[in-house]
Structure 1
Amino acid sequence: MDKFIAEKSFWDIFPEAELGIMTVRGLDNSMEDGPARQEIIDMLAEANREAEKFIDKPVLSQCSVVSVWRDAFQKFKKKKGNRASIEALLNRIQKGKEVGPINPLVDIYNAMSLKYGLPCGGEDADTIKGDMRLTITEGGDSFLALGDTENDPTLPSEICYIDDEGAVCRCWNWRDGVRTMLTEDSKNVFLIFESVDPSRHDDLTQATDELEALVLKYLGGTVAMKTIITKDNTSADSAI
């Protein structure tokens, strides 16, 4: 990964959006079972319980942290049923299905997403080709989603994270791809929090800071880049 860029086509639709991003190099995501691994699993379990505070209405789509993303997803092309990642997590909570452990880094960012009610994700920076761009696509970008076996190209006018090889994450933060997913072998990573609600600027900043602290505490490595992306600060070198 060379650089992160949120392009003009994105800001034309979401001028008040904010993205808390960072890159971390040299971390160790291969943690074996032990006290530290259990602490992360316990943190995720606690975040599952804490996230219930965001389900403040009987209908999930009407809850404030979800409704802002429902509105956002109406502003660009998507497939029917595509939802923001935070809605997918809270949907599990509402149905009594705990968001369970996957690997240490994914567990940490899922815990932070649940704690703050904001979409959070990550990619293996070593698998991103050239710059990663958040943009309105022309369509046809190659994409193999997690769990799928066939290419599912992007739609024209869809908001996606893309690189020189294809799509990285479809429909803004709906679904990650196999090619850039985080694994136990990931060493250099890109992490991101997303907000479309200007009133949650402080939450976004605090969430990004806490994510950084937890990653360094449990997985080590060095933060190579960290910033808040806005319409006035649209790009950052990965420094990896």
Structure 2
Amino acid sequence: MPKFIVEDDFWTLFPHAKIGTVICEGIDNAVRDVAFYEQLLREAEKEARTFLDQEEFSSHPVIRVWREAFQKFKTKKGARCSIEALLKRVKNGHSIGTINPLVDIYNSISLRYGLPCGGEDIDTFAGDLRLTLANGSEPFVPLGSDENAPPYAGEVVYKDEAGAVCRCWNWREAQRTMLTEKTKNAFLCIELVDETRTDVFHRALNELADSVSRNLGGAVKVEVLDIQHREMTLLG
């Protein structure tokens, strides 16, 4: 059975982090009601404006904590946490487009709670999924590209035996493992580095699981990894 393992080198950098997971099995991710997901995102964008009340965009705590986190490891110039990228689009008046139900659901949760969310298709993984520091030789073709752009040595990445799955922790996902309408088994995650928002983190995680279960069927399980609990089984 494939596992998700958060390696020691990650915990050395981020001993207080929490990685919340929602494992989805046997879901139906086919697009049937675009209007529903568009409305879901529009409502989430309205709620996200509570994180845009600072005169300086990057000074809001939900963004600042991730700017500080990204300074602790090697990153590609200009790489930003996924929640910053979403909030910046809202701040600039751009709507978040629908992609497929799973992505739309986790984007809406990300916007509403000001936390980075992501997801991958478990059936595309080669062996175990790991959150760790890259050695710099991992193959990585970013979403929407066909060119290899491997991570830097020392960069925080999700990776499996075939290469990097997501670069700069939660900045850019791989084409190889992306969620599609055909996805049946999915790994969704919410990441926390700000201990003061632990309650918000758990609410977001439970709402993510409930929304997937309610709208896409299948079975979902929620599990949180931290420095005391560093690995889990993905399926079964």
TM-score, normalisation: structure 1 = 0.96
Q: Which amino acid aligns with 1:54?
A: F
Any conservation in 1 of the 2:206–2:222 contact (CA below 8 Å)? no
2:95 maps to which of 83, 92, 98: 98
Q: Which amino acid aligns with 1:232?
A: Q
Q: Which amino acid aligns with 1:226?
A: V
Q: Cα distance, 1:133 vs. partner?
A: 0.3
> What are the equivalent positions in structure 2 for 1:29-178 lying under 5 Å apart?
29-33=29-33, 37-178=34-175
Per-residue deviation, residues 1-26 of structure 1 (Å, max 9, x unmatched): 70001110000000010111021110
> For 1:100 and 1:21, how far apart are their aligned partners in 2?
24
Per-residue deviation, residues 147-167 of structure 1 (Å, max 9, x unmatched): 222100111000000001000
Q: Give every structure 1 segment of 4 or more consecutive aligned residues whose post-TM-superposition deviation is greater than 3 Å.
A: none
1:203 paired to 2:204: no
Aligned counterpart, 1:2: 2
> For 1:110 and 1:173, how far apart are their aligned partners in 2?
13
Q: Cα distance, 1:70 vs. partner?
A: 0.1
Q: Cα distance, 1:58 vs. partner?
A: 2.1
Q: Which amino acid aligns with 2:23?
A: T
> For 1:5 and 1:129, how far apart are their aligned partners in 2?
14
Deviates more, 1:98-107 or 1:69-78: 98-107
Q: CA RMSD in A?
A: 1.0
1:229 maps to which of 209, 225, 231: 225
Q: Secondary structure at the match of 1:155?
A: coil
Q: Cα distance, 1:57 vs. partner?
A: 1.1
Q: Cα distance, 1:239 vs. partner?
A: 2.0
Aligned pairs, number: 236
> For 2:176 and 2:144, how far apart are their aligned partners in 1?
12
> For 2:235 and 2:103, how far apart are their aligned partners in 1?
22
> For 1:206 and 1:20, how far apart are their aligned partners in 2?
11
Q: Which amino acid aligns with 1:12?
A: T
Q: Which amino acid aligns with 1:31?
A: V
Q: Cα distance, 1:128 vs. partner?
A: 0.8
Q: Secondary structure at the match of 1:181?
A: coil
**Structure 2: tracts of 5 or more residues without a match:** none
